[in-house]
């Protein structure tokens, strides 16, 4: 199963909206074949393992299959894996975790048991869950996993009072951001940020860290989602955003623009829970597993105050910008310490001259 978990990770830049899944098939202590899920629409992990056995004339009947997610039981973009394991007369299937997708949800396990396969569940389950935080968030919470990234100075500023912010973090940190973007289903920003930085919000192969193990030919551009409630991003504007090929979704509260060749308008009616509603829509209608947010302090506080931030990723550079600079978060009007937002540090490490820290909400 540890091997299957490692295999699953090989899909992490390409599998969205599908989960990362790995599969290893063994018999008498010998590895027969293996597979992982690379891309939605292509073979699932089990199907790829079975296909590789067939290609090498290897008989998998009577074998044991280790798979990091319950084999599917439905016809989606591809046929059911549980049935493929039954048809190939596998004797035993060890599964790390059930697939919470309501189209599967235990039915894969049940159909294999009905066919007489010995099925075991729960091996390395917590590690398997960590493979797919975004997919699990979309299916279980009906909203994407939200990862908010901010780059700041030692004194917690994200720009000068006049708005200048290029560059606070180092070239190495910006390269790490490219890798984080590549892992995400979507990159979320605001019209203000797009206009201020003329941001493209894409993944650029030549800016990825040299050490990455990403197949550039398989590079998937995340969906770009821009909050544009004042209809500031006109299709005729000369924006780098419009030059890139990947999809742009404009989140608006009324249909200012008909969807055009450059962007699709997603309408979320005005309400107190607007941001939450927008997130549910992105998960349920657009299959967005996780969003990587790059925006300014005001939007950062709006997300925080809506309790939507699942991870806070801070790149802190060793520079000082002064108290008149722009703060990480906009004003929140707190007047009691108990109202503050508390975090727990998950990981902290050096990236070039900077420090990258990942926080998750504190449970206390």
Q: How far is the CB of 72 from Zn ion (least distance, A)?
A: 3
Residues 24-43 touching ligand AOF, rule: CB under 6 A, are 37, 40
Q: How far is the CB of 108 from Zn ion (least distance, A)?
A: 8
Rounded CA-CA distance 258/127 in Å is 44
16, 32, 38, 46: which one contacts ligand AOF (CB under 6 A)? 46
Q: Establish whether 299 is an annotated binding residue.
A: yes
Contact of residue 262 among ligand AOF, Zn ion, none (CB under 5-8 Å per partner type)? none
Distances 332 to 17, 38, 163, 327, 329 between C-alpha atoms, Å: 34, 43, 20, 12, 8
Tell me which stretch binds ligand AOF (CB under 6 A): 18-26, 53-61, 246-254, 270-278.
18-26
Q: How far is the CB of 21 from ligand AOF (least distance, A)?
A: 3
Q: Is 37 in the site for Zn ion (CB under 5 A)?
A: no
Q: Establish whether 181 is an annotated binding residue.
A: yes
Q: Establish whether 301 is an annotated binding residue.
A: yes
Alpha-helical (H) ranges within the chain are 2-8, 45-55, 81-87, 107-114, 125-131, 133-136, 171-183, 191-197, 274-284, 297-305
Which residues have a Cβ under 8 Å from the Cβ of 281 and sit 6 or more positions away?
A: 266, 268
Task: Name residue 267's beta-bridge partners.
Answer: 252
Cα 324 vs. chain centroid, distance in angstroms? Answer: 35
DSSP code for 158: E
CB closest to ligand AOF, residue no: 76
Q: Is 81 in the site for Zn ion (CB under 5 A)?
A: yes
Let me know if 180 is a catalytic residue. no
Task: Name residue 149's beta-bridge partners.
Answer: 294, 313
Tell me which stretch binds Zn ion (CB under 5 A): 52-60, 72-80, 156-164, 330-338.
72-80
Cα 4 vs. chain centroid, distance in angstroms? Answer: 20
Q: Is 93 in the site for Zn ion (CB under 5 A)?
A: no
Rounded CA-CA distance 14/37 in Å is 9
- Judged by beta carbon, residue 82 or residue 177, the one nearer ligand AOF is 82
Q: How far is the CB of 94 from ligand AOF (least distance, A)?
A: 14
Residues 159-188 touching ligand AOF, rule: CB under 6 A, are none
Q: How far is the CB of 138 from Zn ion (least distance, A)?
A: 17
Contact of residue 11 among Zn ion, ligand AOF, none (CB under 5-8 Å per partner type)? none
Cα 51 vs. chain centroid, distance in angstroms? Answer: 28
Rounded CA-CA distance 110/90 in Å is 15
Collapse the DSSP code of 303 into the 3-class scheme (helix H, G, I; strand E, B; otherwise coil) and give the result: helix
Residues 63-122 touching ligand AOF, rule: CB under 6 A, are 69, 71-72, 76-78, 81, 99, 101, 104
- Judged by beta carbon, residue 19 or residue 134, the one nearer ligand AOF is 19
Exposure letters 215-226 (e unless 16+ CB within 10 A, then b): eeeeebbbbbbb
As a whole number of Å, the CA-based R_g of the chain is 23
List residues near ligand AOF by CB under 6 A.
18-19, 21, 37, 40, 44-46, 69, 71-72, 76-78, 81, 99, 101, 104
Q: Which residues are annotated as a binding site?
A: 44, 72, 81, 151, 165, 167, 181, 193, 197, 201, 204, 294, 296-302
Binding residues (CB under 5 A) for Zn ion: these are 44, 72, 81
Positions annotated as catalytic residues are: 46
Q: Which residues are annotated as a binding site for Zn(2+)?
A: 44, 72, 81
């Amino acid at each position: 199963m540890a091997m299957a978990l490692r295999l699953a990770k090989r899909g992490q830049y390409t599998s969205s909206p599908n989960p990362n899944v790995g599969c290893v098939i063994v018999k008498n202590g010998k590895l027969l074949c293996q597979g992982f899920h690379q891309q939605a629409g292509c073979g699932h992990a089990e199907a790829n393992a079975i296909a590789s056995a067939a290609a090498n004339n290897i008989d998998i009947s009577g074998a044991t299959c280790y798979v990091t997610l319950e084999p599917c039981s439905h016809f989606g973009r591809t046929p059911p894996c549980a049935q493929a394991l039954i048809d190939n007369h596998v004797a035993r299937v060890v599964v790390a975790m059930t697939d919470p997708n309501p189209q599967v949800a235990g039915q894969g396990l049940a159909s294999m048991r009905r066919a007489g396969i010995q099925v075991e569940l729960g091996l390395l389950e917590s590690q398997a869950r960590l493979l797919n935080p975004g997919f699990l968030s979309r299916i279980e919470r009906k909203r994407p996993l939200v990862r908010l990234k901010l780059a700041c100075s030692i004194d917690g500023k994200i720009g000068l009072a006049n708005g200048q912010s290029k560059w606070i973090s180092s070239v190495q940190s910006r390269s790490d951001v490219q890798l984080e973007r590549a892992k995400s289903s979507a990159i979320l920003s605001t019209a203000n940020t797009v206009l201020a930085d003329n941001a493209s919000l894409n993944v650029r192969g030549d800016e990825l860290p040299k050490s990455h193990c990403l197949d550039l030919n398989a590079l998937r551009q995340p969906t770009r989602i821009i909050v544009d409630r004042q209809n500031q991003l006109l299709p005729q504007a000369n924006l780098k955003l419009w030059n890139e090929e990947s999809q742009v979704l404009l989140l608006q509260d009324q249909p200012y623009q008909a969807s055009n060749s450059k962007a699709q308008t997603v309408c979320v009616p005005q309400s107190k829970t607007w941001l939450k509603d927008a997130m549910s829509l992105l998960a349920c209608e657009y299959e967005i597993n996780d969003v990587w947010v790059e925006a300014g302090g005001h939007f950062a506080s709006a997300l925080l105050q809506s309790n939507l931030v699942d991870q806070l990723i801070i790149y802190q550079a060793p520079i000082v910008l002064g108290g008149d600079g722009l703060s990480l978060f906009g004003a929140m009007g707190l007047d009691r310490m108990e109202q503050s937002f508390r975090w727990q540090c998950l990981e902290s490490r050096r990236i070039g001259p900077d420090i990258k820290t990942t926080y998750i909400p504190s449970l206390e």
